[in-house]
A = this chain, B = another copy of it.
Amino acid sequence: MSSDADHHEPEAKRAKTEDSNNAGDTDIHLDLKDFAKFKFGEVLKEDPVRKTLALKATVDGSTDPAVVFLEKSAFTEECGKKILESDTTLKQTFHNDIYGSYTGFPQQELNGVKVTIIHPATSKHIAKFSAKESIIVNETPQLYKDVLLEHLKESAFNVQWVYNILEHRSEQERIVCEDADPETGFVLVPDLKWDGESLESLYLQALVHRRGLRSIRDLTADHLPLLRNIRDRGCEAIEKKYGVPASELRVYFHYQPSYYHLHVHFTSVQFDAPGTHVGKAHFLSTVINNLELVPDYYQRATLTYYLPRSDPLADKLRRATDGVSAE
């Protein structure tokens, strides 16, 4: 399931309650065998790389819309073999020398599409599945102080779940490695997105024991022992437990992170992990190197990243400058 479609959000429950007089609405999934009751509304988002399409649709007998999220299924070896060895029609587009380009029409049962249907869908569901325009932000140290620090206070991100892990109140059995030192220690746990088994998609996170470090913006040369410890002991623990050497690990921070308690991502370089693009991922090796060259690098650097145009933070940054883009 795509990352767009894998979180059941709290508003879902609310939607159900609000609509509970609207008999039949939440029953749509009890006996759905085709799209006969659905009418195409509009495209919310098209992703030609991942081959997904999010649609808004109306549903006969309901006043609420549905979100229909389509995703072409990935090929497996088994399915590739069957496509070659069963009756697949080929229609040539062009050929040139030894190269030929075709459209193939495999047997229907070999060519399923993953379909996620949300009904009744609220405006939040619609927004979540809609295309978001991005903008580039060049966050100067001044903008960080004036806008970001205020934004973090107002948003009051809750990191209680992190403290629960650090204090062994939850996920204790999932800990891969722990260094209890209050200054340089950390806990290494598998990321929730990882099944914990397939080495290709290996994904772990190191959460620092030390409180009060929100992001790389708070790091100085004083934290080099902490950072080197995470790098060395984190990689060592992963090689020991999973057999994946440091030369095959991508080790990085996110800025902006999704939660503001300092943490480091470890993923396999054989895996196209989400959030590894420039403007989001910052290699731990680069952060260490920057702090070695300039002890207060992250208090002096302009950090460039993307935000959805509709993000409240983008609005705050826009108001604080003449134009967010202007360097």
B285 touches A302 (CB 8 A): yes
A48: which B residues are within 8 A, CB to CB?
Answer: 74-75
Q: Does A323 contact B (CB under 8 A)?
A: yes
Q: Chain B contacts of A246 at CB under 8 A?
A: 136, 325-326
Q: Is the CB of B112 within 8 A of A104?
A: yes
Residue of B nearest to A36 (CB): B87
A contacts with B, residue count (CB < 8 A): 112
Give residues of chain A (109-157) contacting chain B, Cβ–Cβ below 8 Å: 109, 111-121, 133-136, 138
A35's partner among B28, B84, B119 (CB-CB below 8 A) is B84
Q: Are A75 and B97 in contact (CB under 8 A)?
A: no
For A79-109 the 0/1 string (1 means CB < 8 A from B) is 0110111011110100111111111111111
Q: Cα distance A29–B93 when bound, in Å?
A: 11
Instruction: Judge whether B293 and A300 touch: CB under 8 Å.
Output: yes
Cα A246 to Cα B138 in complex, Å, equals 11
* The one of B13, B97, B105, B283 that contacts A26, using a Cβ cutoff of 8 Å: B97
Report the Cα distance A76→B130, complex, angstroms.
Answer: 15
Q: Is A75 touching B101 in the complex (CB atoms < 8 A)?
A: no
For the complex, give the distance between the alpha carbons of A43 and B115 in Å.
27
